[in-house]
Amino acid sequence: MSEVGSFRFLNGKNTISKLVFIMGSHKSAASLWVRKNKDELISLLQDLVRIPSITGKEYDVQKFILEKLKEIDLDTKFIFPDINVLKNHDEFFETTSFVNQGYDNRPNVFSVLKGKGNGSSLCLSGHVDVVSPEPLTEWTRDPWGGEIEGNLLFGRGSGDMKAGIAAMVFAVQALKETDTKLSGDIFLETTIEEEDGGVGGNLYMRITQPKPNAAIIPEPSDYTIGLASAGVMYFRVVVPGFPAHAATAHFGENAILKMVPIIEALKNLNKERQKTISYPYAEWDPSMKGRATTINIGVISAGDWPSTVPGLCEIKCRVGWPPGETYKEVRDQIENTIMDVAKKDNWLREHPPRIEWFGWRARPHEQNPDHPFVKLLEDQVIKHIGRRVAFTGGAAGLDTRFFVHHGVPAVVFGPKAERIHSSDERVDLESTIKVTEVLVEIMTNWCGLF
């Protein structure tokens, strides 16, 4: 767990007046170009939202991005994940979308803006996949419409994270259009299946592509700087029962009822963990106090007929936890909790529950806030936004972990979005423009002007 506080406040009159001065005077030609051409940025975002790209079906949007990057004269290519390369990596797991769809039609896009000197390199990385908009009845807008109302653009993936993708593409375009030459390389990549674990996406890129000196993922962060991600694992518990006619239920063993104390025990374990585990970056938002870790019971299935005693019950769960615990520690705790219940029950002692770990398996990460790249970003954000910068993260799994685990300092920094993964997802357009401006300044300051 980090010793560093989660907030940095700007306070005092001097700082504020200095800010006003800086805010008016620091902008580069490329950053001014962004502001002047903001309508083009917004229509790019609209185009991206209008191409559905639910995890597993990323091809069309990747093709669109490939063409767009070629249009702005970047050296760009598709990179298809190779399962034989991936499966030897210790962070590999079979994602659900890989199991269902494979990787054949699911390219990542990789693009380079070559630096003219020996400056530091930077990777701008974003995922193009989005979660399903279901249930559609909850939407008041077309999830693939990109409708604009005032300062908001609506649609599935508008915030998570097509606004970030539009921002990074447009930021690089701004450098090109204003003939701004950098000393270091810019790598720009759009990846697949982040929502599903990022294995064929960001992990594959880390294994196969050149290592940058720093990276930014413009996931929606409302201008906060994301420094950490959660560990995530999925598990299923299968409890056997014995089927019988409901009229003679005493001949059977009801698997649902056998599952109830297990659910209860997991609920208590969750409470206990939330009481004892805290993590400032995850709890920066007051509503997240005491919720840095969670065990979620996400799916339950059992039985198929009201007159039959169910012979099998299954739950599928997700455990998420901030940096501080290993896979094994978390796994042991959950397995022991379930087996303790089984020991106290005659039927379950003879017919023990089966516990399986499947799908998502992410190791938490934490980026050192004192790294010069983080300092530079913090500076730039303050200059552009003119308010406090919060350091956040650690409650959800993120692709940033792959960079940090591969020795690349990486942060999340992106626009303000609402209702991501929910109905009427939307993104704040002004924040999308501001994030684009900050990305321009980060590129020029980190990679150096040539």
Q: Which residues contact Zn ion (rule: CB under 5 A)?
A: 160-161, 219
- Are 258 and 425 in contact by the 8 Å Cβ rule? The answer is no
Cα-to-chain-centroid distance, residue 294 = 17
HSE at residue 367, side-chain half, CA atoms within 13 A, is: 31
Question: Given the complex with Zn ion, which of 258 and 416 has the nearer CB atom?
Answer: 416
> Interior CA angle at 380 toward 379 and 384, to 5°?
120
CA 311, CA 241: separation in Å to the nearest integer? Answer: 4
Q: Name the residue among 427, 260, 439, 447 with its Cα closest to residue 347.
A: 260
Q: Show the tokens assigned to 344.
A: 């106290």
Question: Given the complex with Zn ion, which of 218 and 353 has the nearer CB atom?
Answer: 218
CA 249, CA 251: separation in Å to the nearest integer? Answer: 5
User: Given CA atoms 355, 357, 359, 362 in this order, what sign does their dihedral have?
Assistant: positive
Q: Name the residue among 201, 122, 191, 123 with its Cα closest to residue 161.
A: 191
Q: What is the dihedral of CA 42, 43, 44, 46, to 10 degrees?
A: 90
Q: How far is the CB of 218 from Zn ion (least distance, A)?
A: 10
- Are 416 and 431 in contact by the 8 Å Cβ rule? The answer is yes
C-alpha distances out from residue 383 to 10, 27, 379, 441, Å: 11, 10, 6, 10
Q: How far is the CB of 137 from Zn ion (least distance, A)?
A: 24
Question: Given the complex with Zn ion, which of 160 and 185 has the nearer CB atom?
Answer: 160
Q: How far is the CB of 159 from Zn ion (least distance, A)?
A: 8
Question: Given the complex with Zn ion, which of 116 and 421 has the nearer CB atom?
Answer: 421
Q: How far is the CB of 126 from Zn ion (least distance, A)?
A: 8
Question: Given the complex with Zn ion, which of 189 and 219 has the nearer CB atom?
Answer: 219
Question: Given the complex with Zn ion, which of 353 and 397 has the nearer CB atom?
Answer: 397
- What secondary structure does DSSP assign to 226-260, as a single string? EEEE-EEEEEEEEEE-B-EEGGGGGGSB-HHHHHH
Question: Given the complex with Zn ion, which of 219 and 253 has the nearer CB atom?
Answer: 219
For residue 25, with 0-12 CB atoms within 10 Å meaning exposed, 13-18 middle and 19 or more buried, which class applies?
A: exposed
Question: Given the complex with Zn ion, which of 127 and 206 has the nearer CB atom?
Answer: 127
Q: How far is the CB of 219 from Zn ion (least distance, A)?
A: 5
CA 148, CA 150: separation in Å to the nearest integer? Answer: 6
Place of tokens 């639910």: 54
Q: Show the tokens assigned to 167.
A: 């921002």
CA 212, CA 77: separation in Å to the nearest integer? Answer: 18
- Are 352 and 335 in contact by the 8 Å Cβ rule? The answer is no
Question: Given the complex with Zn ion, which of 161 and 227 has the nearer CB atom?
Answer: 161
Q: Name the residue among 192, 195, 36, 167 with its Cα closest to residue 429.
A: 167
Q: How far is the CB of 154 from Zn ion (least distance, A)?
A: 17
Output the residue with the shortest Cβ distance to Zn ion. Answer: 160
Question: Given the complex with Zn ion, which of 107 and 397 has the nearer CB atom?
Answer: 397
Question: Given the complex with Zn ion, which of 159 and 323 has the nearer CB atom?
Answer: 159
**Which amino acid, one-letter code, is at 311?**
G
Q: How far is the CB of 162 from Zn ion (least distance, A)?
A: 10
CA 172, CA 218: separation in Å to the nearest integer? Answer: 14
Question: Given the complex with Zn ion, which of 160 and 437 has the nearer CB atom?
Answer: 160
Q: Name the residue among 270, 261, 256, 279 with its Cα closest to residue 317.
A: 270
Interhelix angle 163-177/429-447, nearest 10 degrees: 50
